[in-house]
Amino acid sequence: MTIEEKTTPTFKLAMHPASEGDALILTWGRDALHRALVDLGRTGDYRALKSLLEDIGTFDLFTISHIDVDHIEGAVPLFKENALPIQAKHVWFNAHAQLVGAKTRSAPQDREVLGAAQAEKVTAGIVKSKWPWNAHFKSGIVSLDSPEAAAPLAFEGGLKLTILSPSDLKLSQLLPVWDAELEKTGLRTVDPDEVAAALVEGREHLGGLNVDALAAQPFAIDSTKPNGSSIAFIAEFGGQRVLMGADSHPDIVEASLRKLGASETARYRLDCLKVSHHGSRANTSPSLLSIIDCTRFAFSTDGSRHGHPHAETIARILKADPTRKKTLVFNFRQKSTEQWDDVELKKRWNYECLFPDAGKTGIEFDI
């Protein structure tokens, strides 16, 4: 038996406080630990996380999933640092040039070079860092339609990533509204859930949460272009799998899983689903839930802006698998999450809730 076989593998997901967004760290390995950083929340979230990032030092992968402010804003002050607090062996981010490339699928040498008009702060920071940018893809585009995405991508330490989103179509759909979605900082600031939240503000479910009624609500899919451009993937290590959903659209994730053999009669096994768009009602469809075999669901949000996670999403999760024991993992104890920490509900629908320890911020758990 080799030393590697004797060593207990580590595979963890940390959901750090990121306001209503994501600042996630995947950790894997046996003797030596490796890490991937996925998004950086807002500016204040990055500053709170900076000392930990400095302690870690090197990340095998830094993914900026898409241009929503609650995913990308924290990367702006990072790249403003005189000395970068981290080093990244690889960075994944689809900027303006990748959107153009996805639309035209021209050879890399034929694509226009980024000019001043397209040099948003994060793009410029990546260029200045000299970190290998989308180097796993010959075209430079993180997309299902890049040939390299046809098979899992291997990382040092035994991690494999399988791309589920975006497609060239989803990326190219963002191109016409890129400038409209960005302010001078290169950050998107508007989220359609703000409108939805306003419409249901103050709504109460008399007699407590009614899972059956909530799950029966008609599903209306997210059609926003930035969310559709999200980089979503399955991370697999030591036989365990976590689906990192970013803000991805459920139709493209479902289609990708079906290509991997998932169906209603052969559900795709996941050890954890990092739920898309922080549990928005528009990003986790009943159809998607019907083809996955998963009992652990993770939500990253403080609920401050959009009321995430939406009760309909959690109800659909519980209704899709009512008998097996399930775990809901939250990185904040707040109004939209605490309501699920109910003894009768947990007994009726056979689930448990994991929250940060008292006095602690964020949560880390084994996958």
pLDDT tens digits along 193-221? 543 443 343 333 334 799 999 999 999 99
**Residue 219 Cα distances to 35, 216, 255, 302, 311, angstroms:** 36, 8, 17, 24, 13
pLDDT tens figures, 154-177: 999 999 999 999 999 999 998 887
The answer to whether the CB of 39 falls within 8 A of the CB of 49 is: no
The DSSP symbol for 276 reads: G
Torsion of Cα atoms, 191 then 174 then 117 then 186, to 10°? 20
CA 146 – CA 149 distance, rounded (Å): 6
> What Rg do the C-alpha atoms of the chain give, in angstroms?
20
Give CA–CA dist 171/102, Å, rounded: 6
Question: For every one of its 367 residues, what pLDDT tens digit does the chain have, with 9 covering 90 and above?
Answer: 344 444 789 999 999 999 999 999 999 999 899 999 999 999 999 999 999 999 999 999 999 999 888 999 999 899 999 999 999 999 999 988 898 899 887 444 444 433 333 336 788 889 889 999 999 999 999 999 999 999 999 999 999 999 999 999 999 998 887 777 665 344 444 344 543 443 343 333 334 799 999 999 999 999 999 999 999 999 999 999 999 999 999 999 999 999 999 999 999 999 999 999 999 999 999 999 999 999 999 999 999 888 999 999 999 999 999 999 999 999 999 999 999 999 999 999 999 999 999 888 899 999 9
* HSE-up of residue 48 (Cα within 13 Å, Cβ side): 13
User: In CATH, which of 3.30.70.100, 3.60.15.10, 3.40.50.1360, 3.40.50.150 is domain 3-366?
Assistant: 3.60.15.10
From residue 175, give the alpha-carbon distance in Å to each of 149, 168, 180, 228, 315.
21, 11, 10, 12, 35
Domain boundaries, the chain: 3-366
Query: SS3 for 61?
Result: strand
Q: Tell me phi and psi for residue 274, to 5 degrees.
A: -80, 105
> Which residues on adjacent β-strands are paired with residue 154?
160
How wide is the angle at C-alpha 358 spanned by C-alphas 243 and 205, nearest 5°?
Answer: 70
Q: Which of 276, 235, 281 is nearest to 254 (CA)?
A: 276
Question: Sign of dihedral through CA atoms 280, 281, 287, 291?
Answer: positive
Beta strand segments in the chain, E: 10-15, 24-29, 33-38, 58-59, 61-63, 87-88, 91-92, 153-155, 159-165, 232-237, 240-244, 268-269, 272-274, 292-293, 296-299, 326-330, 351-354, 363-366
- How many CB atoms sit inside 10 A of residue 91's CB? 21
d(CA 225, CA 170): 7
Instruction: State which H helix or E strand residue 347 sits in.
Output: helix 343-349
